[in-house]
Amino acid sequence: MSHAAIAADILLDENRRQFLGLGLSLAALSLLPKKLFAAEAPSLKQGAFDITVFSDGFINLPASIIMPEAGEDERDAILKRLGGTIEATPTPSNIPLIRTAKDLILIDVGSGDNFQATAGLLETNLKLAGIDPAEITKVVFTHAHPDHTGATVRKDGTLRYPNADYIVSEREWNFWADPDFDSKYPKPLHAFALGAKRDLFAVKDRVRMVKAGDDIVTGIRVLDTAGHTPGHISLEFDGGDGLIITADAATNGVVSFEHPAWKFGFDTDQELGIRNRVKLMDRVASEKTMLIGYHWAYSGLGHAERKGDAYRYVPLNGKPL
């Protein structure tokens, strides 16, 4: 991906400064009590895998990130459905735990204490379910944004999941680890790079690089969904009618489905993100594939169905927004 492509598609610094400040400025506006996320986590069986979706809490996103291309009336109607405001919309963080005969696998690790105060609940919720962080054997990073990898390292510098092997796409690693990052890429990405390097370099001695088509374990394959970041991946499961963990290929349970061709503010390459999102939506709606979305209404379990020229998200247990 060229420097020009990234620079052309990136939002203004002001939007990112606004977002990065939300963890402090909006903590008092949290719309959901933390004890909500300690509720019993939903589970499903997918082929040979037992999957439980845990909550890491939520982050707040401004409308300028969620739907920068929306007109005022359309924006306000969507915000009403999402229960948000122009300044802050609560955006869940749903983290799948996959149990196999040999492994306990986390798909991303959430924010930890390195991001917004309304997130970072994964470890607590795992312990409430009787799971010790030391039992986790594999961690898959779908990409290295702070709400996905921020919990990698504790404040004392130790790993939160000390016995795990870590898996990340080679393109993702190479992008963030580039020693010349600051001179190659726009300033708004520099703060993200600091966090990504902290998290990735902390596991450099136990990391496995993957590419599209590689197996995480037998029956779970890497799906290339670049655009949100250069090495963003989703995960495709064998068994039944299929399952895809989308991560941030589709970031919002309303906008990404009903307006898949709209840009998302934090997509590094917004045009590529749109192409891969539209491709993904067309496929999963046609195949009726089960989905788990990272930032959709908890638990993120559901499927896509066609709605006119676009789609809508249908939660597994609940009504569409």
Cβ atoms of residues 225 and 294 within 8 Å = no
Does 86 score more than 90 pLDDT? yes
Domains, the chain, in order of start with CATH, read 3-315 (3.60.15.10)
Residue 317: predicted pLDDT: 78
pLDDT class of 239 with cuts at 50, 70, 90: confident
* Segment 117-158, tens digit of pLDDT: 899 999 999 999 999 999 999 999 999 999 999 999 999 999
Does 179 score more than 80 pLDDT? yes
Q: Rounded to 5 degrees, what are φ and ψ at 273?
A: -60, -40
Does 66 score more than 90 pLDDT? yes
For tokens 């009504």, what's the residue? 319
The SS3 assignment for 188 reads helix
Q: How many Cβ atoms from other residues are within 10 Å of residue 274's Cβ?
A: 18
Residue 321: predicted pLDDT: 64
pLDDT-wise least confident of 62-76, 107-121, 201-215: 107-121
Q: How many Cβ atoms from other residues are within 10 Å of residue 172's Cβ?
A: 23
CA gap 167, 320 in Å, rounded: 33
- Nearest residue to 216 (alpha-carbon basis) of 139, 164, 133: 139
CA gap 193, 191 in Å, rounded: 5
Look up residue 34 and give its amino acid: K
Does 97 score more than 90 pLDDT? yes
Does 89 score more than 80 pLDDT? yes
Q: SS3 sequence, 97-115? A: EEECCCCEEEECCCCCCCC
Q: What is the mean pLDDT of residues 23-35?
A: 40
User: Which pTM was predicted?
Assistant: 0.89
For all residues of the chain together, what is the average pLDDT?
89
* Segment 253-275, tens digit of pLDDT: 999 999 999 999 999 999 999 99
- 189 is written with which tokens? 């990405």
